[in-house]
Structure 1
């Protein structure tokens, strides 16, 4: 009970802090309605821009913390709590299947919250998504196990996981255009990449690594460079992990995160600038979240199945290589980005 109360306190504190930051944006935000298209960037002072970026970063960090916390629990405890009748490996696989429900829900959240975000404004919709995922995480912590209520336990787990995905699907797509529209037009890549930092709040060096490729070179070039580097590193990554020493693991993960940053940082501005202001919330949300289903929900399940089938990480590396091929094709086929007013 003490752990649950601590989690509740953390959630309430973080939501209150983000809500206060969002309230400060109310004076500078231009609402977007069908009869009144917004002209573009509206923050004129450095302080206002920093407030917007800080609010978007902290809100995204809170959303992703709750979302990834579920993944950790799925790997460690959900298998035996909600699927005790299954073999340990099968129980873990079933737990990861419920993890994938969040990815399936994200495009739904993108459609729902994107619709309202483009019409009633980013700020209010973002506040709703923060409260929604906080409640979902809190209720998951209160769920009784399979031993207490039987099949209703995993059913409720899936439902609450869907709520988490619904919320995240709406929050990310609102934070990106909000930070972009309130930033210096010459530094949009750096500003929007700060939203991506919220996905990895524990790795404090990520702002520099993800923001620098985005700011210093075109987003298309940075994404292609990262994809090519990842295609080579994926065949080094798993052998380094197999060494089993801390320095080898640190090298494998550190280089992988740097390569990932070259693609992940530019992703925000690359997607957002493809859409006009009136459709940016919906377009950015849906484009990103649809890709999250095959790229995120299926990835751990396929990796486990491939390793189990072939007994080697080479099969997993080839799967990653195929996914990177899709990335390269998508970047090369995307239309040239035109600088729009907003």
Structure 2
């Protein structure tokens, strides 16, 4: 293995120019950011708007639990997208899948912005909301695997942590835009105006954002690795079956590695909204500001973490961050009892920093668990199934534990358990095998050079 890595680093790869690398990085980043803008708008609205207009109940906790249940639907539907689009990514290519997923989640989000409330059409409103949320989840479930491969397979495999982080920057960028839009609307409109129509604006403007994302992605060709697989006739015929039969340990490693970061992100960006507003009495604007600052810093800490993991063992960087996140949860809740807006910002920023040093290298780690011909399927399945175990249940469980015990300790313990599962996944995983990509990239370069001649 050491000899293979040394040879790979000494052998120049000419299949991809730096211009194409940065175009792929931008396409992966912008497209994923737009998709997660749509997803994050829903997440924020589920915490502060939907309990009132779609799930009215005398008990505020009941309304919140119902709203977070629809949040979970978006995660539960992700495996559908992962199964459908992950498979297609290995069969028809990464680019085509990314165009379809972007359109799917964009249309669903736009329609949510037009949906009448419970007060207008009764029970039909939350039913349609759940269906549209399901469509969003299907789109996101197929998006991540393709976006990660788009940037990592165009980039230098020796710097996969950095290049693959493009897709990882999408969630904080999307979260920043979503919470920024909601914060502006909250501050510029009265409470009643925001509940009546203000929240809809954040959903409707997604049409413009999705159009921009499509323009970026349609200008790209498919990745050199996929083109080499296609030219050699090595595309899998039954990728899902093959992954489940031959890639069980890599799949388990990838799934478990994702649980801790997903739970931590839900705590920092979703549960903090409810806990800060309902339990500690912070203004909505104060909590949104803390999340926005943390998300803005992640735009830089994500690629930094990916780059660091290229120089230091990726699993080590990932594991240290998981341990740090587990400890941080207890400190965060203790100091937050002082109800200081400054402490709220610092605590949120620290939580998202630990998240960055797990999530930044995560894309590269997950991709590296699977052989190139099964990467789209394997990565998508891992991403979506981990989302159910981690991100889908987390906000619901946080709210349920807080309501049952009236204490933050079970919430912090829940995060610690999730981080422990992540450490198990890292122990099961393997390190990077750069030679796998170099072989395909060099084959594509040779083919293109022959075509020019």
CA separation of 1:155 and 1:277: change in aligned 2, threshold 3 A: same
Name the SS of the counterpart of 2:436 in structure 1. Answer: coil
Q: Displacement of 1:208 after TM fit?
A: 3.5
Q: Give per-residue Cα distances to partners, 1:173-201, cap 9 Å, x unaligned.
A: 10101111100122111000121111101
Q: Displacement of 1:210 after TM fit?
A: 2.3
Match status 1:111 vs 2:101: no
Q: Corresponding residue for 2:320?
A: 225
The structure having more radius of gyration, on CA atoms, is 2
1:163 corresponds, among 110, 117, 135, to 135
Match status 1:308 vs 2:400: no
Q: Give per-residue Cα distances to partners, 1:15-38, cap 9 Å, x unaligned.
A: xxxxxxxxxxxxxxxxxxxxxxxx
Q: Displacement of 1:328 after TM fit?
A: 0.7
Q: Corresponding residue for 1:11?
A: none
**Unmatched runs of 5 consecutive residues or more in structure 1:** 1-40
Q: Give per-residue Cα distances to partners, 1:136-156, cap 9 Å, x unaligned.
A: 001111111122222211111
Mapped contact 1:78–1:95 kept (Cα < 8 A)? yes
Q: Corresponding residue for 1:3?
A: none
Q: Distance in 2 between matches of 1:118 and 1:340?
A: 20
Name the SS of the counterpart of 2:337 in structure 1. Answer: helix
Q: Give per-residue Cα distances to partners, 1:87-123, cap 9 Å, x unaligned.
A: 2221121011011000001111001011111111111
Mapped contact 1:273–1:340 kept (Cα < 8 A)? no
Name the SS of the counterpart of 1:298 in structure 2. Answer: helix
Match status 1:190 vs 2:162: yes
Mapped contact 1:233–1:256 kept (Cα < 8 A)? yes
Match status 1:288 vs 2:383: yes
Q: Corresponding residue for 1:253?
A: 348
Matched pairs, number: 302
Normalised by the length of structure 1, the TM-score is 0.85
Mapping of residues 193-204 of structure 1, within 5 Å:
193-201=165-173, 202=176, 203-204=295-296
- Structure 1 stretch 332-341 or stretch 297-306: which is displaced more? 332-341
CA separation of 1:70 and 1:329: change in aligned 2, threshold 3 A: same
1:341 corresponds, among 436, 439, 450, to 436
Q: Corresponding residue for 2:105?
A: 133
Mapped contact 1:106–1:289 kept (Cα < 8 A)? yes
Name the SS of the counterpart of 1:205 in structure 2. Answer: helix
Q: Distance in 2 between matches of 1:254 and 1:68?
A: 18
Q: Corresponding residue for 2:339?
A: 244
Match status 1:99 vs 2:71: yes
Q: Distance in 2 between matches of 1:100 and 1:86?
A: 22
**Unmatched runs of 5 consecutive residues or more in structure 2:** 1-12, 177-294, 438-453
Q: Which has the higher contact order (CA 8 A, sep 6+)?
A: 2
Q: Displacement of 1:43 after TM fit?
A: 5.0
1:210 corresponds, among 276, 279, 302, to 302
Mapped contact 2:28–2:151 kept (Cα < 8 A)? yes
Q: Displacement of 1:340 after TM fit?
A: 4.3
Q: Distance in 2 between matches of 1:256 and 1:53?
A: 26
Match status 1:299 vs 2:408: no
Q: Distance in 2 between matches of 1:82 and 1:246?
A: 30
Q: Distance in 1 between matches of 2:424 and 2:156?
A: 30
Mapped contact 1:42–1:182 kept (Cα < 8 A)? no
2:46 corresponds, among 58, 61, 74, to 74
Name the SS of the counterpart of 1:312 in structure 2. Answer: coil
CA separation of 1:81 and 1:75: change in aligned 2, threshold 3 A: same
Q: Corresponding residue for 1:177?
A: 149
Q: Distance in 2 between matches of 1:299 and 1:43?
A: 42
Name the SS of the counterpart of 1:275 in structure 2. Answer: coil
Q: Distance in 1 between matches of 2:415 and 2:297?
A: 25
Normalised by the length of structure 2, the TM-score is 0.64
